Amino acid sequence: AQKVTQAQTEISVVEKEDVTLDCVYETRDTTYYLFWYKQPPSGELVFLIRRNSFDEQNEISGRYSWNFQKSTSSFNFTITASQVVDSAVYFCALKGVNAGNMLTFGGGTRLMVKP
């Protein structure tokens, strides 16, 4: 069974603050993929990153960075110098190699960035 937990349901920050969104996962697969998606108010899912279980290197893309810790089954997402446009719901998702292409989503974290 696969499970993704995003313990923070809502986070509110002031613009320019850094914010970290937590994601903890469970899977029995030794090979798996982790994802982060952004869902703005319009509803579409915007793909942010995919990381496979064998690649524990942290990744940075502009103001976004991801910290993958296999030892703690976590894949946290940090936004540096947040902006109002970052306000959205962010989903962490997991796909085990034995799950075909089926994604298991976490409950999502609603991020509100205030000016």
Partner 1 sequence: GAVVSQHPSRVICKSGTSVKIECRSLDFQATTMFWYRQFPKQSLMLMATSNEGSKATYEQGVEKDKFLINHASLTLSTLTVTSAHPEDSSFYICSAAQGVNTEAFFGQGTRLTVV
Residues in contact with partner 1 by CB under 8 A are 37, 42-45, 47, 50, 91, 95, 97, 100-103, 105-108, 110
CA-to-CA distance for 77 and 65, rounded, in angstroms? 6
Closest approach of Cβ 16 to partner 1, in Å?
Answer: 27
Closest approach of Cβ 100 to partner 1, in Å?
Answer: 6
Closest approach of Cβ 112 to partner 1, in Å?
Answer: 13
Total Cβ atoms within 10 A of residue 3: 12
**Cβ-based nearer residue to partner 1, 42 or 61:** 42
Residue 70 has phi, psi (to 5 degrees) of: -65, -35
- How many degrees, rounded to 5, is the angle at CA 36 between CA 33 and CA 39? 145
Beta bridge partners, 32, equal 96
**Cβ-based nearer residue to partner 1, 13 or 45:** 45
